[in-house]
Amino acid sequence: MAEQEASGLQVLLRTLQSSSDRASVLTILQVLGDLLSVGTDRRIHYMISKGGSEALLQTLVDTARTSSPDYDILLPLFRLLAKVGLRDKKFGQKALELEALDVTLILTRKNLSHSQNLLHCLWALRVFASSVTTGAMLGINGAMELLFKVITPYTRKHTRTIRVATEVLAALLKSKSNSRRAVNRGYVVSFLRLHQDWHTQDMTNTYVLIRRGLLLCLQRITTIRSGREAFLVAQGMETLFSITQNCLDNKSMEPVIAVALQILRQCYPKSPLPLVTASSAYTFPLPGNIPSEASHTLPEEDFEDDGDEEGDKDSDSEDEKQQYDDLETEADKLVSKPGLDRPEEELIHYEAMCLELSEGFEELESKFGDDLNSEDTQHTNHHHIPTAADPEQHCLNKGQRAWEQEREGRVQASLLSMVKMGRATVPPSSRKRPVVNMYQNVQFNGLELGISGNDNTDIQTSLDIEAISCPKMSASFSNSTRPTESVEVIDKLLHTHAKHIPFHDPFVYMAKAGRTRSVADFKMMAFPDLWGHCPSPSVQPMLERQCGVQRIKIFEDVQRLIQPSDVMNKVVFSLDEPWTVQDTTSSCLRFCSKFESGNLRKAIQVREFEYDLLVNADVNSCQHQQWFYFKVSGMRAAVPYRFNIINCEKPNSQFNYGMQPTLYSVKEALLGRPSWIRTGNEICYYKNHYRQSTAATGGPWGKCYYTLTFAITFPHSEDACYLAYHYPYTYTALMTHLDILEKSINRRQVYFRQEVLCQTLGGNPCPLVTITAMPESNSPDHLEQFRHRPYQVITARVHPGESNASWVMKGALEFLISSDPVAKLLRENFIFKIIPMLNPDGVINGNHRCSLRGEDLNRQWLSPRAHLQPTIYHAKGLLYYLRSIGRAPVVFCDFHGHSQKKNVFLYGCSVKETLWQANCTVGASTLLEDVSYRILPKILDKLAPAFTMNSCSFLVEKSRASTARVVVWREMGVSRSYTMESSYCGCNQGPYQGLQFGTSELEEMGAMFCLGLLILELKSVSCSRQLLTRAGTLLNAEDGALDHHLQR
């Protein structure tokens, strides 16, 4: 049957080409038309495969070259050509070879006064012009001049023909040679005049598609530089801006506005950033040469393309394109185990970092005696309370201890119960709660009583908010003398207004801050870091993006260009111009970023309530502008202020999909509400007109920049507020946290050792923490069990801007030292080696990605050098040492943050999955691979509300060969080597669906990760019977909360 159909079609096509009988040709054309008018495109493709395009084109040429062309044949022929040509990728070339282009142009010229025949000719030309090559040939043969005779000023006659002519011309102008020809002949002005005429006369918007076609012609011309120049000279920016402003709210005008927006973005003159240099405002003298990085590349774990950059991203689409061309395709490289990157004798130095393997614990008998396992050890974690002699040993008061006991009780009762509830940790009412102003109960022009009951009505007059909002460091803390006057003010405030915050002490923080070394030698502390943060009492939904926000912002940018007199352009803050004094008497906002982790380089007042902001590049770098953290003061309440951060680098952001920046109000903190909250509206993120300057790149223009814009209404007048990309977590906050953790543990139960992994390039100690359970006694059996516990290694914050990773780490640390029965089991069965901050210098100096050398430390694991990348060198050395003594970790996990995806997920490593995805099956079938790398993410998928298995990946990319995850997997032989990514934004699945992450959710993820490690061990073949028995007892007490996870 198929052969009969094929032979029948071929007979028809051969007859069509050879027959001179008019009736036969018409019949064949009718039959072909009927065949192609029903069914799918498969029929058209089948006809093309049998030579249908050539047959139709040859018939066209033969018919057109007769002395009197028969239009009864030509018209159905043109209709067939238009239908077939759209599906034939080689149609233009075939038409060129068969000389169909010339005859179609001749027929078009002959029928300029015959609209029906002309329309059919234009349909054919539209298909021919879809190929750039044939379009260029048509342009050489005068097609554009011919079409301009068809496209007339406004008329109600032959509008269908005019519309198709504009579409043909737009297709022709995809050819750059045609665009140059159009510029040289002055068509830019002609198109502008034609469009303006149609726009003015078409009062009822009946001919929107003709207006769109004219704009499409302009859009194609302005893709070349001479076209953009001609457009600007013709005042095209002003013309299109004026035309579109009157119809922004008219949905029927959407086709016109969308194209006009693209033209305005294309033609907006490119300009360098308003900075003296693209390099960072901070420099640091370094050993060795600073690596040069290609300015156009973003070698990031979470980089992805943003698709059509010129489009108007007003939708909520987050389509992600999987790129597999970077996968490692050589099986030998995937399975090879490289040798040591240092002399083997060096590894003995790391023995000092594993004292738990050699300690005798002689003090156990004398210090604790037989009371080691008595019931009185089951009390609050705050066993060792520091004395008041040293500010760093400032006492945690009774209120805070009570808070800790309450919190400890919650942790103990909540972790397994959350799992028992099937991850439904957020009540439905919370998930459906609308977006509300977190400060809605606070008066705008005066402070109410704080929730602590203190009388704060005189805060406005009795306190200098500006002075206390960024207090100076006191050198007195470094030598334990009496605090200075400024600290005494803070001390008084703490006693009258402070809200007790777990595991935080402002006095310890101040002492630690004085010892933190920064490139800029910061002298002030950010109030939120000093005062502390309490998680928001309620969850915050993702912001529902209003349609058209980005469009409005782009039109406002154009308005700045064409109406420069309306723009103030007043520099109100600059790291490059320290002599810029902020006028405290004017109405403009005051900015500051000269504190730990702060990042704001320049602030320019654009209008009364609008500011352009520029963030600083990473130290010794000219890239990675993304993280921001700064103080703003001098605001008015109930007034929306707009902030435009104009030099962001990433091509897309979760700010387009519901994420909001974070804000901390000093006045709110003094009222007893010291919280970072998500805030801002009218948020969008888009490519702007700024480019890296010629001097920085040596070429015409460098990389593109992007604008993050948002509006904020502050809760109080004359407040001091901090704004940040995400919840900040400083190095000093970490060191404070570790000290308080160490002093709060029950030393009879918890082995907690804090030591220095190494000194950073900036002279800051990089902490290494060891957590496990104390041995029951110093008997040989108990010490043997203690020393043979498997290791788990966790690291975080190699990328400074990923502060969410630190909050996850904070949750893990607090859980591991808690009295939760799961934490106790974990301590008794594992030794945790934790490096909570791999890049202290980057965090301290407000970097987003790099170390002080301007390099990504998570690309240095292959061959780190002690004097250039000390934290990576020694972290890798410690792992080498553990492997050398047969104690490689069960799990290695590096905590990260992700800017372009939602939820929490893991990246792991698999040889087979990588080869399979890369379509390299040769040799893959014979490879043996431990598939246990998938167990932990599957466990977390069932346990943690924020985690999703769907986003996990186990592919090994070439560009990730030098990351911690891949190096530890390949060189240390750790099959469960992971990167855990936490979204900056929130979740689009599970109980947290539609919610932004707060610090509570991130900390919970850290605790859930630890719980996952326990279940992973319980599911392993090597799990001891004693642990299974104890876990079974615990789980039975919890009503079988985890029973289904323990099925082997």
| Listed residue (95, 171, 166) closest to 132, CA to CA | 171
CA distances from 414 to 225, 280, 407, 1016 (A): 63, 46, 10, 20
Q: Examine the residue annotation and report whether 981 is marked as an active-site residue of this protein.
A: yes
Residue with tokens 């990246």: 907
Q: How far is CA 855 from the centre of its chain?
A: 19
| Listed residue (129, 114, 42) closest to 82, CA to CA | 129
366 burial (CB, 10 Å; 0-12 / 13-18 / 19+) is: exposed
Contact between residue 275 and residue 601 where contact means Cβ atoms under 8 Å apart: yes
Q: How far is CA 614 from the centre of its chain?
A: 18
Work out the angle between the directed axes of helices 115-129 and 159-172 (0-180°, nearest 10): 20
Rounded to whole angstroms, the Cα distance separating 626 from 584 reads: 29
Strands (E), 807-950: 831-835, 891-898, 904-907
Contact between residue 59 and residue 25 where contact means Cβ atoms under 8 Å apart: yes
Q: Which of 596, 668, 957, 981 is catalytic?
A: 981
Residue 821's φ and ψ, nearest 5 degrees, are: -60, -30
Instruction: Provide the residue type at 132 as one letter.
Output: V
Rounded to whole angstroms, the Cα distance separating 114 from 124 reads: 16
Residue with tokens 């704080």: 450
Pairing of strands 791-796, 891-898: parallel
Rounded to whole angstroms, the Cα distance separating 1028 from 1040 reads: 14
Rounded to whole angstroms, the Cα distance separating 717 from 729 reads: 27
With the CA atoms of 838, 843, 848 and 852 taken in that order, what torsion angle do they form, in degrees rounded to the nearest 10?
Answer: -80
What's the sign of the alpha-carbon dihedral 822, 823, 829, 830? positive
| CB-based contacts of 955, cutoff 8 Å, min separation 6 | 324, 327, 910, 913, 914, 917
Instruction: Provide the residue type at 299 as one letter.
Output: P
Pairing of strands 602-607, 891-898: unpaired
What's the sign of the alpha-carbon dihedral 483, 486, 491, 494? negative
Q: What number of other Cβ atoms are within 10 A of residue 776's Cβ?
A: 16
Rounded to whole angstroms, the Cα distance separating 407 from 347 reads: 41
Output the 3-class SS for 988-999: CCHHHECEECCH
With the CA atoms of 458, 459, 465 and 471 taken in that order, what torsion angle do they form, in degrees rounded to the nearest 10?
Answer: 120
3-state SS assignment for residue 595: strand
CA distances from 369 to 16, 117, 356, 374, 499 (A): 106, 106, 20, 10, 39
User: Which two structure tokens, joined as six digits, stand for 889?
Assistant: 């970790």
Rounded to whole angstroms, the Cα distance separating 314 from 655 reads: 12
User: Which residues are known catalytic residues?
Assistant: 981
